[in-house]
A and B are shown apart, each in its own frame.
Chain A
Amino acid sequence: MDQKINQSQIKLEELFREVASLGNISESQKQELFTKLEGAIVLNIVGKLFDQLQETGKKIIEQKKFKTNEDLFKFLSSAVSQDNFHKVATLAVEEVVKKFLEKI
């Protein structure tokens, strides 16, 4: 396991738990809070990946029938580079986390 990833995961988990604990909310509410943030990040990522699609990619979507999220994600990964995915994901995390912390 990558030691750096493990360390940043532990630190983030600790910070998230501390912020949630300050609010004295129940365990189920904490789960809901972080599930919503997680959902917001993935929605943001998917939206940004759509923005990156070239015209050919957009035409393919119009003709395809996606039955599952996996079908859609597979298509997006074939149309957008891995490098761009990382840039998009970083931006999405930053945007969602910042919006959340600005609201509270």
Chain B
Amino acid sequence: MSKFEQLGNSERSKGPENSAESREQFGVRALQAAQEIYSDEVKTLKHKIYRYEALRDIGYTVALPGSLYIIGKFFGVDIGKMTGLNISESTEAVVRLSWLISVLGANSAYFAKMYFEKKLNYFKKKFGVLSKPESQETK
């Protein structure tokens, strides 16, 4: 079974238990999910670097907003040069993240796009939202 099919199955299994969930509840859950994933990654990295005393002062501060652009720069992925934009920690997070994934490579952008598109369609159906909520409000 492909990763994509597995993701589809996990959505179906969540369907009945979450069928009465409001959009507000979903928003809170999404926020919690992001926090949990972040905390898991902190734990994983801490476990990987615990033996290095030299890294204890840095630890998970590598996750500070903007760090991805800095690390990319050292590996020849200079978002500033590639885009002409000056992206920093003060740039809107959604813009930072989408630029980041795009410049990391076609595969990264493909995976993120496919996964988000599939899930978005599932949620639109679940919440009865057929077109973009923001554009509907502005009409």
Interface residues of A (CB under 8 A from B): 1-2, 4-6, 8-13, 15-25, 29-47, 50-51, 58, 61-70, 72-74, 76-77, 80, 82, 85-86, 89-90, 93-94, 96-104
Contact = CB atoms under 8 A, between A and B. Distances in A.
Interface residues of B, number: 82
Given A23-B27, A46-B62, A8 B113 contact: yes
A20 B51 CA distance: 38
A61 B52 contact: yes
Given A96-B41, A100-B34, 18 more contacts: A12-B109, A19-B120, A20-B30, A22-B124, A23-B27, A33-B31, A38-B65, A40-B41, A42-B63, A43-B42, A44-B44, A51-B48, A74-B74, A89-B105, A97-B116, A98-B115, A101-B116, A104-B29
Given A16-B98, A51-B48, A69 B33 contact: no
A42 B67 contact: yes
Contacts of B64: 39, 69
B23 A24 contact: yes
A1 B101 contact: no
B57 A67 contact: yes
B100 to A, nearest CB: 7
Contacts of B38: 36-37, 39-40, 43
Contacts, number: 261
A103 B100 contact: no
A90 B70 CA distance: 17
Interface of B: 3, 7, 10, 23-24, 26-31, 33-38, 40-42, 44-45, 48-49, 51-55, 57-58, 60-65, 67-68, 70-72, 74-77, 82-84, 92-109, 111-113, 115-117, 119-120, 123-124, 127, 129, 132-134
Nearest to A93: B108
Contacts of A90: 104-105, 107-108, 111
A15 B80 CA distance: 23
B102 A8 contact: yes
Of A33, A65, A68, most B-chain CB atoms within 10 Å? A33
Contacts of B103: 5, 9
